Amino acid sequence: MEWTNWLTLGIAVLGATLGVFNAVWLIRKDTVRLRIRYTSMYIVQRDEWIGGLEAVNTGYIAVSISEVAFKRGRFARQRLIITNDYMRSVSLPHRLEPRTSMTMSHSPDVLRQLQAEGYTHGLVTTVCGVTAVTRLRTRKK
C-alpha cells in the first residue's frame, strides 16, 4: 500500500471515531439528569430541626419539578407527598435551570413521621415524567 492509502484509512478511522463520540455526546446532552439528597436544617429562631430534599439539575437542559415525596421502599407505591415548602421559598412546579438546585423543606411533624413510619427513600418527579429516587441516609446511634 502506498502512503496515500494509509493516510486515507487513518482519516476514515478518525472520522468514524469522532462520529461515534459525537452521537454519544448528543444523546447524553439531551437527557434529564437529577441528583437528589436529603438535607437537614436547624432554625435558630424557632429552635427546631427541619429537613428537605435537595434536587440538583446536573444535565444540560432545564427541567421543571412537579412533585417531591418520600416512599417506604424503592418500589413502594404509597408516597408521602410534600405539597408546600415549610420555608416558603419554593413553589411547585419549579423550573430548574442547568447546574442549579432547589431545596423543598418540610415541617418538623413530617420529620417525626418519616422516622416513625420508616420512610427510606426520597423522590423527585419532573413535569416530563422522569423520576429520580434516592435512599435517605440515616445515622446509626
pLDDT for residue 138 is more than 80: no
pLDDT for residue 141 is more than 70: no
d(CA 86, CA 106): 5
Q: Say which DSSP state 137 is in.
A: P
Question: pTM of the predicted model, to two decimals?
Answer: 0.76
Each residue's pLDDT tens digit, 47-67 = 888 888 999 999 889 999 999
Phi, psi of 110 (to 5 degrees): -65, -40
CATH code, 32-135: 2.60.40.3970
Mean pLDDT of the residues in the chain: 88
d(CA 135, CA 138): 9
